[in-house]
């Protein structure tokens, strides 16, 4: 770097490291074992990139960015591939020997993915270490192995590479001399010394013209006083040893070429083999013998042998250039996702702002303009176990509508028996008028009562209505603030929902019902869980929508008369942030989702953390990354332009730890997205980042609630249970874990248990109706 005057630059570095390494990525290589007489301690089992970086740091006078570690065979293949695109095999025949080739990804079980190809470093020097070459190993091979630094290892390399060739020749000459076949039986100390005959000597001896002359010189230096016949015999020994090497390498290369031919399913293979290495380059006969034998072994192939002019360095630089481009791309993707990765300080800020909005919703003078509405529900107690009777419950929330008959029995063995039927709500009804919506609901109730044979009974009814409403009593005037979750029935807004239902029942003229309670689904969830677990005083829905409720002190709810006891407050926290207080953490993707929604500017918190919108956020990010050429080959398909293709269930499937990339890709292909395995990795990361943020900001909201309850009760430490329902919480592989962890971190003085509501909010509506009926009877007795 000093010579090139580039010490001040931080350049991407490619590292050719010609030893067996285990790699999980391009810029990591754990040395499996040293070969070729290397033995530096403390390196085997270590990542050589880390060791190199450490050494660079230790010097401290320049910086480097190691992007790729390549084996010299890979470097050779890439170098030759630059000149000949057919090159798909790389071979080194030098001090050591090895090969690499392009294998179909579908055959590489150690790597996820099944399309395209990947370069495999065969490390064929270790061929035979399992005993498979015992029948052709000679006594001389065994002697070389015994005297090596790594006995029993790299047996093929010891038979075929340049490093051991001279030594093999020396051992054969010693034996022949001992048996009186050479040098008149003379054995000198030089001839008995290891390393006295090198591969370069073998190459010199085998030269056609001056070979015998060279042989005489070399043997004279060893002090054996050779005759001309000795020189001829020694030349013959050298030829046998080097020819065996060429034959062995031809055979193993032949196996690779057959593999390529099979993979491609062609009758005749046309390919190029990139070669480097001193033995192949310097030995006068080696290359010719190798080519001839390969063509004899694989007659149905046209093989071109290409000598790597610039060794493996150019190839390593090319791999580095590609790695650098991909790293730059990965950096830009990470930069995009960084906005979704919230720090603890940011989450504490979200918690703090939620607390401010809670206070504003509870206070009489700020309630009107508060975004978090803190609506009183007139549910003043959780079930006590004395509830009894048959109740009808309706559950309207997402895209389905449930009618339930709930039989509650009190006494020693409390039981709740439920019968229910689910009805779909057609899109035209969801977005039609209020009258059409309630007529459809009553039609479904009628069908259910027929089905249960109970049309004659006048049953008490609880109605779970999962939309923001103002309530003045348990059953009286509710005004929806604004419908969300895909509903549009605008003429309902500001109307009394109970009246709308009663009028629709009257219009039907088939049955009578006693509407006792109207309940938000969060409250229903809290009540269902409280029936099992008395410490449950919070309800959370994390599904299509997102909302929470909890038991607040009456004295804090300024818009309701009375100071004693507690009342459940429906927070309607989905609208948190509608006043702009979350704008600093909203991304351009959140804004795009909001602009394309039915209720622009409303329910902003919900749009960042509920199942209905997460898929849309993901879609917006994927469109952006595709436009920038990082995904789907830069092609934005019609599918990707379609709103709502990424349902929460797809996110849950894609993020499942058990899913291999192939299955992720299959899901994307089902959605009509022509995805590669690399695309699948990116999509999986995008999904994970978006859902992680959702769980975290939902956890920050919950942390604000539990700390508020703790402070209300003037406790140093609070134990409390949250009843939870919703598909996102139930089905997503990581949401609940991240959510719990966030609550724990942000509200350390609270021990919060989470109880999954097993039978949705319908049972809760029936329990509230039962509690309401019990309350009504008590009131009647008192009057």
- Each residue's pLDDT tens digit, 504-541: 888 887 778 887 777 888 888 999 899 889 899 999 99
Predicted pLDDT of residue 406? 86
Non-local CB neighbours of 466 within 8 Å, separated by 6+ positions: 396, 397, 398, 485, 520, 521, 522, 541, 545, 547, 761
Domain coordinates in residue numbering, the chain = 10-70+308-338, 88-305, 376-532+763-782
Residues 6+ away with beta carbon under 8 Å from 544: 397, 398, 399, 485, 610, 611, 612, 648, 726, 727
Annotated catalytic residue within 148, 203, 312, 466: 466
> Average pLDDT for residues 468-477, to the nearest whole number?
64
Given a cut of 70, whether residue 479 has pLDDT beyond it is no
Handedness of CA 80, 82, 87, 88 (dihedral sign): positive
Residue 183, CA distances (Å) to 166, 174, 198 in order: 18, 10, 20
Instruction: Answer with the residue of higher pLDDT: 494 or 152.
Output: 152
Question: Is it the case that residue 578 has pLDDT exceeding 80?
Answer: yes
pLDDT in tens, 751-774: 999 999 877 667 888 888 887 777
Q: Are 607 and 589 in contact (CB under 8 A)?
A: no
Q: Has residue 481 got a pLDDT over 60? A: no
Q: List CB contacts of 728: < 8 A, sequence separation 6 or more.
A: 542, 543, 610, 611, 614, 648, 694, 735
Residue 458: its pLDDT value, please? 83
Identify the pLDDT of residue 475.
64
pLDDT at 84: 87
* pLDDT score of 477 more than 50: no
Mean pLDDT value of segment 41-57: 89
65 or 597, which is more confident: 597
The pLDDT assigned to 499 comes to 82
CATH architecture entry for 88-305: 3-Layer(aba) Sandwich (3.40)
- For 10-70+308-338, which CATH class? alpha beta
Q: What is the mean pLDDT of residues 61-69?
A: 80
pLDDT in tens, 388-445: 888 888 887 666 788 989 888 887 777 888 888 998 888 887 777 878 888 888 899 9
Mean pLDDT of 111-124: 81
The answer on pLDDT for 488 being more than 70 is: no
As a whole number of angstroms, the distance between CA 191 and CA 221 comes to: 10
**Most confidently modeled range among 53-57, 103-107, 348-352, 678-682:** 348-352
Model pTM greater than 0.75? no
With a cut of 60, say whether residue 95 has pLDDT above it.
yes
For 230, the token pair is: 């000795």
Q: What is the Cα–Cα distance from 108 to 102, expressed in whole angstroms?
A: 11
Number of H helices, E strands in the chain: 26, 22
Which tens digit of pLDDT belongs to each residue from 70-84? Answer: 778 888 888 888 888
Phi, psi of 502 (to 5 degrees): -60, -40
Maximum average pLDDT range among 19-33, 76-90, 538-552: 538-552
Q: Which of the residue ranges 311-325, 348-362, 415-429 has the most confident prediction, judged by mean pLDDT?
A: 348-362
- Say yes or no: do domains 10-70+308-338 and 376-532+763-782 share a fold: yes
DSSP assignment, residue 109?
T
Indicate if 774 belongs to the active site: no
Give the residue with greater pLDDT, 761 vs 737. Answer: 737
Above pLDDT 90, what percent of the chain? Answer: 50
pLDDT over 70 (residue 378): yes
Closest alpha carbon to 484 in 438, 435, 543: 543
- CA atoms lying within 13 Å on the CB side of residue 260: 28
As a CATH number, domain 376-532+763-782 is: 3.30.420.40
**pLDDT, averaged across the chain:** 88
Q: What is the mean pLDDT of residues 146-167?
A: 93
466 is catalytic: yes
- CB neighbours (10 Å) of residue 169? 23
Which residue among 521, 578, 590, 679 is the active-site one?
521
Task: Judge whether 360 counts as a catalytic residue.
Answer: no
Percent of the chain predicted with pLDDT > 70: 94
Predicted local confidence at residue 494, as pLDDT: 64
Q: Which residues pair with 603 in a beta bridge?
A: none
Given 360, 402, 665, 710, which residue is catalytic? 402
Task: Report d(CA 24, CA 606) in Å as an integer.
Answer: 39
Residue 777's pLDDT band (boundaries 50, 70, 90)? confident
How confident is the model over 548-571, as pLDDT tens digits? 999 999 999 999 988 888 999 999
- Identify the weakest region by mean pLDDT among 165-179, 227-241, 758-772: 758-772
Beta carbons within 8 Å of 180's beta carbon, 6+ residues apart = none
For residue 68 the two structure tokens come to 């790729």
pLDDT tier at 280, thresholds 50, 70, 90: very high
């Amino acid at each position: 770097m000093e010579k090139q005057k580039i010490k001040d630059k931080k350049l991407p570095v490619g590292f050719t490291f010609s030893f067996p390494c285990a790699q999980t990525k391009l810029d990591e290589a754990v040395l499996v074992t040293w070969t070729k007489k290397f033995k530096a301690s403390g390196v085997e089992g270590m990542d050589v990139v880390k060791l190199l970086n450490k050494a660079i740091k230790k010097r401290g006078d320049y910086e480097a960015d190691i992007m790729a570690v390549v084996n010299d065979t890979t470097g050779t293949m890439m170098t030759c591939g630059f000149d000949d695109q057919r090159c798909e095999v790389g071979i080194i025949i030098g001090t050591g020997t090895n090969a690499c080739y392009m294998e179909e990804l579908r055959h590489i079980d150690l790597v996820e993915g099944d399309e395209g190809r990947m370069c495999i470093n065969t490390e064929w020097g270790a061929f035979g270490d399992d005993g498979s070459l015992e029948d052709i190993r000679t006594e001389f091979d065994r002697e070389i192995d015994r005297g090596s630094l790594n006995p029993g290892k790299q047996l093929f390399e010891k038979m075929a590479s340049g490093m051991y060739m001279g030594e093999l020749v020396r051992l054969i000459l010693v034996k022949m001399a001992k048996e009186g076949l050479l040098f008149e039986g003379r054995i000198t100390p030089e001839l008995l010394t290891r390393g006295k005959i090198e591969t370069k000597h073998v190459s010199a001896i085998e030269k056609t013209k001056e070979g015998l002359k060279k042989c005489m010189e070399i043997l004279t230096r060893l002090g054996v006083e050779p005759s001309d016949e000795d020189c001829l015999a020694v030349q013959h020994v050298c030829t046998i040893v080097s020819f065996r090497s060429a034959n062995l390498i031809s055979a193993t290369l032949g196996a690779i070429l057959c593999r390529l031919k099979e993979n491609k399913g062609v009758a005749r293979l046309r390919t190029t083999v990139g070669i480097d290495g001193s033995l192949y380059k310097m030995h006068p006969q080696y290359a010719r013998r190798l080519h001839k034998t390969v063509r004899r072994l694989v007659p149905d192939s046209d093989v071109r042998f290409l000598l790597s002019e610039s060794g493996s360095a150019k190839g390593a630089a090319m791999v580095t250039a590609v790695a650098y481009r991909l790293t730059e791309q990965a950096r830009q993707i990470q930069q995009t996702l960084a906005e979704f990765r919230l720090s603890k300080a940011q989450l504490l800020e979200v918690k703090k702002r939620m607390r401010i909005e809670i206070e504003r919703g509870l206070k009489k003078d700020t309630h009107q303009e508060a975004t978090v509405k803190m609506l009183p529900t007139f549910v003043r107690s959780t079930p006590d176990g004395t509830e009894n009777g048959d109740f009808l419950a309706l559950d309207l929330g997402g895209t389905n509508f449930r009618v339930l008959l709930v039989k509650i029995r009190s006494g020693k063995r409390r039981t709740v028996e439920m019968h229910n039927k689910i009805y779909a709500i057609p899109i035209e009804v969801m977005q039609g008028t209020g009258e059409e919506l309630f007529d459809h609901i009553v039609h479904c109730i009628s069908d259910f009562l027929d089905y249960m044979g109970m049309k004659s009974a006048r049953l008490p009814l609880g109605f779970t209505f999962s939309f923001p409403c103002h309530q003045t009593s348990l059953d009286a005037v509710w005004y929806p603030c604004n419908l969300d979750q895909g509903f549009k029935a605008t003429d309902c807004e500001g109307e009394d929902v109970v009246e709308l239902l009663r009028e629709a029942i009257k219009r039907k003229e088939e049955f009578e019902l006693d509407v006792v309670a109207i309940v938000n689904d969060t409250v229903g969830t809290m009540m269902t869980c409280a029936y099992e677990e008395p410490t449950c005083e919070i309800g959370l829905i994390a599904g299509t929508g997102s909302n929470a409720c909890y038991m607040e002190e009456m004295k804090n709810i300024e818009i309701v008369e009375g100071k004693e006891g507690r009342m459940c407050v429906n927070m309607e926290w989905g609208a948190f942030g509608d006043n702009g207080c979350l704008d600093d953490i909203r991304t351009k993707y959140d804004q795009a989702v909001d602009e394309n929604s039915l209720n622009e500017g409303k329910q902003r918190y919900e749009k960042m953390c509920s199942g209905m919108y997460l898929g849309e956020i993901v879609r917006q990010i994927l469109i952006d990354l595709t436009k920038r050429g990082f995904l789907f080959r830069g092609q934005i398909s019609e599918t990707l332009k379609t709103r709502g293709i990424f349902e929460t269930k797809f996110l849950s499937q894609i993020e499942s730890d058990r899913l291999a990339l192939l299955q992720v890709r299959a899901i994307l292909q089902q959605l009509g997205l022509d995805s590669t395995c690399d695309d699948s990795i990116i999509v999986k990361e995008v999904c994970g980042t978006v859902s992680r943020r959702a769980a975290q900001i939902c956890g920050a909201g919950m942390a604000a609630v539990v700390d508020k309850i703790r402070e209300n009760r003037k406790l140093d430490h609070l134990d409390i249970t949250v009843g939870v329902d919703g598909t996102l919480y139930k089905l997503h592989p990581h949401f609940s874990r991240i959510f719990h962890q966030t609550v724990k971190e942000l509200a350390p003085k609270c021990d919060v248990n989470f109880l999954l509501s097993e039978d949705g909010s319908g049972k809760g509506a029936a329990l509230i109706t039962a509690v309401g009926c019990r309350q009504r009877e008590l009131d009647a007795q008192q009057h």
